[in-house]
Amino acid sequence: MPAPQKPKLAVWKFASCDGCQLSLLDCEDELLAVAGAIDIANFPEASRALMKGPYDVSLVEGSITTPHDEERVHSIRRSSKFLVTIGACATAGGIQALRNFKDVREFTQIVYAKPDYIETLNKSTPIKDHVFVDYEIRGCPVNKQHLVEVLSAFLHGRKPNIPNYGVCVECKRRGTVCVMVARGVPCMGPVTQAGCGALCPAYARGCFGCFGPKDTPNTTALSGAWAGMGVSDQDLLRVYRTFNSYAEPFRKESEAHEQ
Amino acid sequence: MSSKTIKVDVLARVEGEGALYVNIKNQRVADVKLRIYEPPRFFEALLRGRRFDETPDITARICGICPVAYQMSACHAIEDAFGVHVEGPLRELRRLLYCGEWIESHALHIYLLHAPDFLGYEDGIQMAQYHPDAVRRGLRLKKIGNRIMKVVGGREVHPINVKVGGFYKAPSKQKISELGEDLKWAMYAALETVRWVASFSFPAFERDYEFVALQNPAEYPLNEGRIVSNKGLDIPVREYEENFAEEHVEHSNALHSTLKARGSYLVGPMARYALNYEMLSPVAKEAAASAGLGRDCLNPFKSIIVRAVELVYACDEALRIVNNYRVPEHPSVDLVPRSSVGYGCTEAPRGILYHRYRIDDHGLILDAKIVPPTSQNQKSIEEDLFQFVEANINAPKDKLQWQCEQAIRNYDPCISCATHFLKLHLEQE
């Protein structure tokens, strides 16, 4: 009897820093085991051997910012049984979505001497704006353990066990004293999805929202608390406009502080 | 008329997206284009109006492979603007963090991205079936680099503990001491790495490069120094833009950098090694000598040996810092924003990374300039390819194509950074 065929994994990149797909290579202890259980069929950052689809799971990094990529993502969807986005760029447009609040032509002129050579869209948009996404892994960057968890979940036909509560819960579980209450340090933890292990408060700084908005975030109340600590509208605007600025709760809250 | 085209549409085992196009007409190379189609992300534009203390976190996002380099160049540039110099244990801690990134990045490139070319495998995972001990050694080295970044920086990709002026929190003596055992093994493994890569066979190819790197009298350069070359350049960081030009070419989303006086130049391990050999630690010098390296190396295919020697140095240096670590009295120095311009340049694993910021009285950024190492190496890569293909014009197309890819990977190009890089097309007419 022939050996059962191994599931095929593909890794795709759009506008991004490569950090999330690097997180897969950063699974130093698990990498060879993962490679033993699945066929890494398309992962250009790691291999020059590129196999044709269809693929069982596609991991998609990066946001859509060019007309070509707008088309490419559809062909990836068509060749993938499950499509999982990895990181803030793919799930919320990334830091490059800051252009969505400005004029991209102006941005092009600032950086490039010959803007005519540059082909770019007005907006940087998440993958879900273009195709159906089966699962989103948050974070800037993703937590590498989440990658391993989601891959095993999809390959075994179960739901990934990833938290959707806020960073505050992780601080409590870790035993970190609240930086906002005890030290008056402004923190995004109350509105930000857990997953990083509440790193920043453990390093004596406020959370700055890498994992994007949690379920039902009360951003209005948080902004009120920050304002009470003397944070200006101008500063609040910048706080919501970082790596997940185009995720709806953060976008709307930032617009409330726009003068 | 004979014609041949080498086309690589998706250049693999590089960080980011690029393509290569080589056109051969009548047994001569007519054109070489390294096309970086990585979409532009406009960092220099989106930094305008941000506050100075956001720059380490924002610029880290330019590159997931070398975020520490971006954080360090940003910090130094802004500290320069505000007239502050970070010294003592904080400076040492930064150097330790940077060693962590060098170890992680060099181990990744040597073992998973570059060695498979020399041994004829598609990737590190396929190589692992035949060289399991080597690949495991590489992965463990990589993990140790990552562990340093985790302890000092909070996490491996986009560390959260770096702050303009120092750190948010200084790690305890115990946390740093715990790195010692790993680093002792890493030293042994790095020396083994030098022996392993020195046993590969290398295409005979040399070029008279202009090497550009930082240089400072006290140490092998990471964070500080003057920008010098082997052809007479010797300038402070603030004169970078007077001496280097960025050119926007149609085929690439990455700007090409040149030395205004002389054209293309090379940054990265080969340049650092040639210009700072004397500053290597004795064990790194010994490893270089035993691998057959002289005081400089002009064969870009041998850059893998130089990278391995730097791996030895980074482990040795990290161990030195760990053994002498004192917890800084304050995790950072205080800064007072002022209207000013600041310049910073540090040695990313791939070469010098230049930042310049103009800042207003409130600490808001008026404009920013960032020149990553890969955009500085682009022209040199194209020139290597031109000469290499011409010298090997009768080689079978498959072999030539693979060697062209390898020639690009000599530079450990980071395309994500440079966009603002690889498909390979080899065309013969």
Report whether pLDDT(B364) > 90. yes
| Closest partner CB to A111 (pick from B12, B40, B142) | B40
Between chains, do B146 and A13 touch, taking CB under 8 Å as contact? no
Q: Indicate the SS3 state at residue A153.
A: helix
Measured between CB atoms, does A71 come within 8 Å of chain B?
Answer: no
| Closest partner CB to B41 (pick from A15, A117, A243) | A15
- How do residues B60-100 score in pLDDT, each as one tens digit? 999 999 999 999 999 999 999 999 999 999 999 999 999 99
- How do residues B175-224 score in pLDDT, each as one tens digit? 999 999 999 999 999 999 999 999 999 999 999 999 999 999 999 999 99
Q: What is the pLDDT of residue B256?
A: 81
Measured between CB atoms, does A41 come within 8 Å of chain B?
Answer: no
- How do residues A191-244 score in pLDDT, each as one tens digit? 999 999 999 999 999 999 999 999 999 999 999 999 999 999 999 999 999 999
Least confident of A243-252, B240-249, B337-346: B240-249
Residue type, A46: A
Work out the minimum CA distance from B38 to partner chain A, whole angstroms: 7
With cut-offs at 50, 70 and 90, classify the pLDDT of residue B31.
Answer: confident
Task: Return the closest-CA partner of residue A156 out of A251, A51, A38, A255.
Answer: A38
End-to-end CA distance of chain A: 70
Q: What is the mean pLDDT of residues B387-414?
A: 90
- Among B41, B63, B93, B168, the strongest candidate for a mutation testing the A interface, having the largest count of A CBs within 10 A, is B41
Q: What is the pLDDT of residue A215?
A: 93
**Which residues neighbour B194 within 8 Å (Cβ) at sequence distance 6 or greater?**
B287, B288, B290, B291, B305, B308, B309, B311, B312
With cut-offs at 50, 70 and 90, classify the pLDDT of residue A3.
Answer: low
- Token pair 């998973």 is at which residue? B112
- Among B47, B51, B52, B61, the strongest candidate for a mutation testing the A interface, having the largest count of A CBs within 10 A, is B61
What percent of chain A has pLDDT above 70?
98
With cut-offs at 50, 70 and 90, classify the pLDDT of residue B423.
Answer: very low
Measured between CB atoms, does A15 come within 8 Å of chain B?
Answer: yes
Between chains, do B160 and A200 touch, taking CB under 8 Å as contact? yes
- In chain B, the residue whose alpha carbon lies closest to the alpha carbon of A34 is B125
Q: What is the pLDDT of residue A116?
A: 72
Work out the minimum CA distance from A77 to partner chain B, whole angstroms: 19
- In chain A, the residue whose alpha carbon lies closest to the alpha carbon of B151 is A203
Which fold does the domain B43-324+339-398 belong to in CATH?
Answer: Cytochrome-c3 Hydrogenase; chain B (1.10.645)
Q: What is the mean pLDDT of residues B311-340?
A: 97
H-only helix segments in A6-66: 19-25, 31-37
Work out the minimum CA distance from A24 to partner chain B, whole angstroms: 11
Q: What is the pLDDT of residue B1?
A: 47
**What is d(CA A240, CA A208) in angstroms, rounded to the nearest whole number?**
9
Between chains, do B154 and A200 touch, taking CB under 8 Å as contact? yes
Between chains, do A25 and B108 touch, taking CB under 8 Å as contact? yes
**What is d(CA B97, CA B102) in angstroms, rounded to the nearest whole number?**
9
**What is d(CA A68, CA B18) in angstroms, rounded to the nearest whole number?**
14
Least confident of B90-94, B197-201, B253-257, B383-387: B253-257
- What residues form DSSP beta bridges with B341? B358
Q: Map out the domains of chain A with their CATH numbers.
A: 8-156 (3.40.50.700), 167-256 (no CATH)
Measured between CB atoms, does A70 come within 8 Å of chain B?
Answer: no
Half-sphere exposure of B136 (CA within 13 A, CB side): 6
- In chain B, the residue whose alpha carbon lies closest to the alpha carbon of A115 is B248
Measured between CB atoms, does A120 come within 8 Å of chain B?
Answer: yes
Between chains, do B158 and A50 touch, taking CB under 8 Å as contact? no
Q: What is the mean pLDDT of residues A142-171?
A: 94
Report whether pLDDT(B422) > 50. no
How many contacts (CB atoms, under 8 Å) link A and B?
190
Report whether pLDDT(B226) > 60. yes
Fill in the DSSP letter of residue A30.
T
Q: What is the pLDDT of residue B42?
A: 87
- In chain B, the residue whose alpha carbon lies closest to the alpha carbon of A66 is B39
Q: Is the model more confident about A49 or about B140?
A: B140
Helix axes B88-107, B303-324, angle to 10 degrees: 150
Q: What is the pLDDT of residue B427?
A: 62
- Among A6, A9, A23, A45, the strongest candidate for a mutation testing the B interface, having the largest count of B CBs within 10 A, is A45
SS (H, E, C) chain B: CCEEEEEECCCCCCECCEEEEEEEECCEEEEEEEEECCCCCCHHHHCCCCEHHHHHHHHHCCCCCCHHHHHHHHHHHHHHHCCCCCCHHHHHHHHHHHHHHHHHHHHHHHHHHHHHHHHCCCEHHHHHHHCHHHHHHHHHHHHHHHHHHHHHHCCCCCCCCEECCEECCCCCHHHHHCHHHHHHHHHHHHHHHHHHHHCCCCCCCCCCCCEEEEEECCECCCCCCEEEECCCCEECHHHHHHHEEEECCCCCCCCEEEECCCECCECCHHHHHHHHHHHCCHHHHHHHHHCCCCCCCCCHHHHHHHHHHHHHHHHHHHHHHHHHCCCCCCCECCCCCCCEEEEEEEEECCEEEEEEEEECCCCEEEEEEEECHHHHHHHHHHHHHHHHHHHCCCCCHHHHHHHHHHHHHCCCCEHHHHCCCCCEEEEEC
Measured between CB atoms, does A96 come within 8 Å of chain B?
Answer: yes
Between chains, do A141 and B157 touch, taking CB under 8 Å as contact? yes
Q: Write phi, then psi, for A10 (nearest 5 degrees).
A: -125, 145
Under a CB-based contact definition with an 8 Å cutoff, are residues B135 and B111 in contact? yes
B48 alpha carbon, distance to own chain's centre: 26
Report whether pLDDT(B8) > 80. no
| Closest partner CB to A98 (pick from B44, B46, B253) | B46
**Hey, what's the torsion of the CAs at A192, A198, A200, A201, to 10 degrees?**
100
With cut-offs at 50, 70 and 90, classify the pLDDT of residue B5.
Answer: confident
Report whether pLDDT(B10) > 80. no
Q: What is the pLDDT of residue B421?
A: 37
Q: Write phi, then psi, for A81 (nearest 5 degrees).
A: -70, -55
Q: Is the model more confident about A158 or about A103?
A: A158
A chain contacts of residue B248, beta-carbon cutoff 8 Å: 112-114, 117
Q: Is the model more confident about B238 or about A40?
A: B238
A chain contacts of residue B14, beta-carbon cutoff 8 Å: 45
B355 alpha carbon, distance to own chain's centre: 15
**What is d(CA B379, CA A15) in angstroms, rounded to the nearest whole number?**
24
**Hey, what's the torsion of the CAs at A173, A175, A181, A187, to 10 degrees?**
-60
Q: Which helix (H) or strand (E) holds A85?
A: strand A80-86
What tokens were used for A195? Answer: 């997953």
- Token pair 């050996």 is at which residue? A3
| Angle CA A226–A97–A65, to nearest 5 | 170
Report whether pLDDT(B4) > 90. no
- Region at A258 (left for phi over 0; alpha for psi -120 to 50; beta for the rest): beta
Between chains, do B12 and A99 touch, taking CB under 8 Å as contact? no
**What is d(CA B231, CA B275) in angstroms, rounded to the nearest whole number?**
11
Report whether pLDDT(B417) > 70. no
| Closest partner CB to B168 (pick from A49, A196, A205) | A205
Q: What value of ipTM does the predicted structure carry?
A: 0.95
**What is d(CA B71, CA B67) in angstroms, rounded to the nearest whole number?**
6
Question: What value does the mean pLDDT of chain B take?
Answer: 92
Between chains, do A45 and B13 touch, taking CB under 8 Å as contact? yes
Measured between CB atoms, does A145 come within 8 Å of chain B?
Answer: no
Between chains, do A32 and B128 touch, taking CB under 8 Å as contact? yes
Sign of CA dihedral B6, B8, B11, B16: positive
Q: Write phi, then psi, for B241 (nearest 5 degrees).
A: -70, -20
B44-58 burial code (b ≥16 CB/10 A, e <16)? bbbbbbbbbebbbbb
Work out the minimum CA distance from A249 to partner chain B, whole angstroms: 21
